Amino acid sequence: MNAKRPLIAVLTGAGISTDSGIPDYRGPNGLWQRDPKAQELVTIGPYLADPDVRRRSWLMRAEAGALAAEPNPGHRALVELERSGLPVRVLTQNVDGLHRRSGLPARKVLELHGTAHQVQCVRCRVRSAMADALARVAAGEPDPACTACGGVLKPCTVMFGETLDPVVLDQADAIAKACDLFVAVGTTLQVHPVAALPQIALEHGARLVIVNGEPTPYDPVADEVIREPISTALPELVRRLVAGE
């Protein structure tokens, strides 16, 4: 009888996407460091209350170009890990959709903070494509409203001040409890409740590997900490895992 194959949970943060041209938030050159006021553009209270915040938020999205970003070697390494036959689940704090775009099956990706590829009306809850909303901004609408009811549009992402979908969080907790190896990639592990997932994994007997350019609160209890650039470190880590090293 074949032995049970170990389940690998991979939590990814903004750091995995920086090589795709998407800036991170809390790193030394992150968005919050360069422009501390930018955080209000993704905070639900100011966003809903102030049309000027929404206008600046739409401009930020248009200038970021995240919808056109391409997966990088870090994303593609996780595809190779999944295709190796090892059981893998990717939990991502990113909203860029690059894990799915890289070829990971949708059922194996849990988007903890939602997706930037869609928008939703806060009044009637109708969803539509972010690309369509950005096209309206480019055409001269600084704060495009819902075409169905005229309500405020927001990205289908979890903004600061909002709570995670409890169903999604329960799924993440279950994966953390069931995994044998928990790999945290490109995340500062400072934003809760997601930051608690490595601790849940450790408490249930998993090994912990951290791949991040800056220190995290979990470094002292991790089995391995890798400081190399993610686009080179993650492919090498995947090679080792597939080889059983």
Measuring CA to CA, how many Å separate 77 from each of 57, 96, 157, 224, 232? 32, 17, 25, 18, 9
For 129, the 3-state DSSP assignment is strand
Q: Name 164's Cβ contacts closer than 8 Å, sequence gap at least 6.
A: 112, 113, 158, 193, 194
Q: How far apart are the C-alpha atoms of 220 and 242, rounded to whole Å?
A: 26
Tokens linked to 119? 């928008």
Q: How many other CB atoms are found less than 10 A from the CB of residue 90?
A: 27
Handedness of CA 58, 61, 62, 67 (dihedral sign): negative
| Residue 75 falls in the annotated catalytic set | no
Q: How many other CB atoms are found less than 10 A from the CB of residue 143?
A: 16
Q: How far apart are the C-alpha atoms of 209 and 223, rounded to whole Å?
A: 6
Catalytic residue among 75, 113, 117, 192: 113
Q: Name 211's Cβ contacts closer than 8 Å, sequence gap at least 6.
A: 183, 184, 185, 186, 226, 228, 230, 233, 234, 237
Interior/surface letters 215-235, b for 16+ CB within 10 angstroms, e for the rest: ebebeeebeebbeeebbebbb
Question: Catalytic positions, please?
Answer: 113
